[in-house]
Amino acid sequence: MVLTFSGGPVYDVIDGSRFANGRMFCDMGPAMADGLTCVLDGTVWTSSGWFDPSPDGVSSFSPGGELIGRIHLPEVVSNLCFGGHLRTRLFITAGQSVYDTYVQTQGLPSLEPQVRLSRPKPPAMSTILAIGAHPDDIEIGCGGTVRKLIQQGWRAVHVCVTSGEAGSSTIDKSVLAATREQEARRAAEVLGSERVVFLGAPDGLTQYSRDQKIAVIDLIREVRPEILFLHASSDSFPDHRVVHELVMNAVAGAAGPWYQESTGEPHRPATILGYEVWHPLSSHELAVDITATVERKMDALRCHRSQIESMHYDEAFLGLARYRGVMSFAGSHAEVFEVLRTPLSLPAGLA
Ligand SMILES: [Zn+2]
């Protein structure tokens, strides 16, 4: 199907060489159609401006031209486009502002050459692996630090050992797992992380399996992180404790010529940091200033709507970051960590 602009008809493309079946795709009424983009799921998104609430805003249409939904803004709308790593962030220009929102669909890849922004050169080994038991643990525990490193040129991969399907007493488990996986993907995108891996362990872990240990060894050997984030050793929340043991045992397994099921080359992260979630650390070795990224951390955390609807923990973790910042002298806001492993810097004579 080909869409033409400015009120022209829509055509079917026959054999890639000719147009046929010209027709009106949809009637925008009195609005002045401005932006238009197609989405991977086949829907068409348009923006139109008019000083009247009914046609003004962003509209989405099915491939057959049927109106599906509409976004209204407090200003006259002009153009729109999808952006972000996964093209799930919708940008809308309006009278005096640019708006953006995350949507549950994905824009088509651009046909234009990719514009590359100049970024600081990343360090030689520049990958982060962040692992959590549940889909929101990483954002809570180290979201501000991960974002800060990404801004400096690091790559980040997230791993959710479970999909958090036990996180509600009323929502069906499979529905909740899918919702929380989507929330985790969106939160990772807000931070700028590359991808989220879900290991599919059952939420409410009491122990881990050998297969899950091999899966984490595989990831460590594939991603080859320089920094690994995981639950701190003192975290007494049962799932977090099991995942801490799982990951630390996988770290040991990934480091040497063992586990023939895992084909990757041995690797050991140089730095391993334990983060806090529900049980604030009673002591810590490292405080990271996240003043510049705390807002992004909160944006990522608020992607976990299924959890925040029942408990506004985003406010609690904003308060914790403020407390950590003030008490550690690191900055206005901070995240603190248990240092489980760090490159040695020994006094002369021992090195
Ligand atoms: Zn958790």
State pLDDT tens for residues 311-339.
Answer: 999 999 999 999 999 999 999 999 999 99
Q: Has residue 112 got a pLDDT over 60?
A: no
At residue 19 the predicted structure's pLDDT band, cuts being 50, 70 and 90, is: confident
How far, in Å, is the centroid of ligand 1 from the Cα of 240?
6
How far, in Å, is the centroid of ligand 1 from the Cα of 220?
21
Q: Pick the closest to residue 320 from 284, 277, 272, 288 (CA basis).
A: 277
How far, in Å, is the centroid of ligand 1 from the Cα of 276?
10
Q: Are residues 94 and 141 in the same domain?
A: no
The residue written with tokens 């923990």 in the block is 313
Q: Is residue 155 part of a domain?
A: yes
How far, in Å, is the centroid of ligand 1 from the Cα of 188?
16
CB contact burial 220-247 (16+ within 10 A = b; e otherwise): bbbbbbbbbbbbbebbebebbbbbbebb
Q: Are residues 228 and 93 in the same domain?
A: no
Identify whether the C-beta of residue 273 lies closer than 8 Å to the C-beta of residue 227: yes
State pLDDT tens for residues 225-278.
Answer: 999 999 999 999 999 999 999 999 999 999 999 998 998 899 999 999 999 999
Q: Are residues 65 and 140 in the same domain?
A: no
23 versus 199: the higher-pLDDT residue is 199
State pLDDT tens for residues 71-83.
Answer: 888 788 888 888 8
At residue 8 the predicted structure's pLDDT band, cuts being 50, 70 and 90, is: low
How far, in Å, is the centroid of ligand 1 from the Cα of 346?
36
How far, in Å, is the centroid of ligand 1 from the Cα of 310?
15
How far, in Å, is the centroid of ligand 1 from the Cα of 239?
7
Sheet architecture: strand order including 57-61: 32-38, 44-49, 57-61, 67-71
How far, in Å, is the centroid of ligand 1 from the Cα of 50?
47
Mean pLDDT of 96-117: 69
* Host domain of residue 91: 10-102
Q: Is residue 110 part of a domain?
A: no
Helices 294-301 and 313-328, axial angle in degrees (round to 10): 160
How far, in Å, is the centroid of ligand 1 from the Cα of 207?
15
Mean pLDDT of 123-132: 84
State pLDDT tens for residues 221-239.
Answer: 999 999 999 999 999 999 9
How far, in Å, is the centroid of ligand 1 from the Cα of 162?
9
Q: Has residue 6 got a pLDDT over 60?
A: no
Q: Are residues 86 and 132 in the same domain?
A: no
Read off the tokens for 227: 């920094």
Q: Are residues 80 and 189 in the same domain?
A: no
Mean pLDDT of 168-190: 93
Q: Pick the closest to residue 295 from 336, 335, 333, 337 (CA basis).
A: 333
Q: Is residue 247 part of a domain?
A: yes
> Considering its fold, how many domains does the chain have in total?
2
For residue 216, give the CATH number of its domain: 3.40.50.10320
Residues pairing with 183 in the sheet: none
Q: Are residues 56 and 156 in the same domain?
A: no
Q: Are residues 182 and 69 in the same domain?
A: no
d(CA 325, CA 336): 9
At residue 114 the predicted structure's pLDDT band, cuts being 50, 70 and 90, is: very low
The mean predicted confidence, pLDDT, of the chain is: 88
Chain-centre distance for alpha carbon 304:
10
Q: Is residue 120 part of a domain?
A: no
